[in-house]
Amino acid sequence: MNRASKIFEFGYLIVAVIFLVETFLNWSEKRESAYMMLLFAVLAIFMYFFRKRFRKKMENKN
């Protein structure tokens, strides 16, 4: 469980990097799409920190 949680945490970071790259590639052409990708990147970064905090809380509980 602990190892899978760490993998999913880093998966969120990978997704955030992909969305950030797409944001910068689409910034000059499709501004609305770039804003949406930026929102998803911020959400993925938030989920990374949320999952990390939740996993640490569960480790301390056990």
Are residues 24 and 42 in contact, defined by beta-carbon separation less than 8 angstroms? no
Instruction: Write down the pLDDT at residue 39.
Output: 97
CA distances from 12 to 21, 28, 37, 57 (A): 14, 26, 14, 19
What does pLDDT average to in each consecutive run of 10 residues of the chain (62 residues)?
Answer: 84 96 93 94 96 90 78
Q: Is the pTM of this model over 0.75?
A: yes
Instruction: Write down the pLDDT at residue 59.
Output: 85
Domain extent listing, the chain = 2-61
Are residues 52 and 5 in contact, defined by beta-carbon separation less than 8 angstroms? no
Instruction: Write down the pLDDT at residue 1.
Output: 65
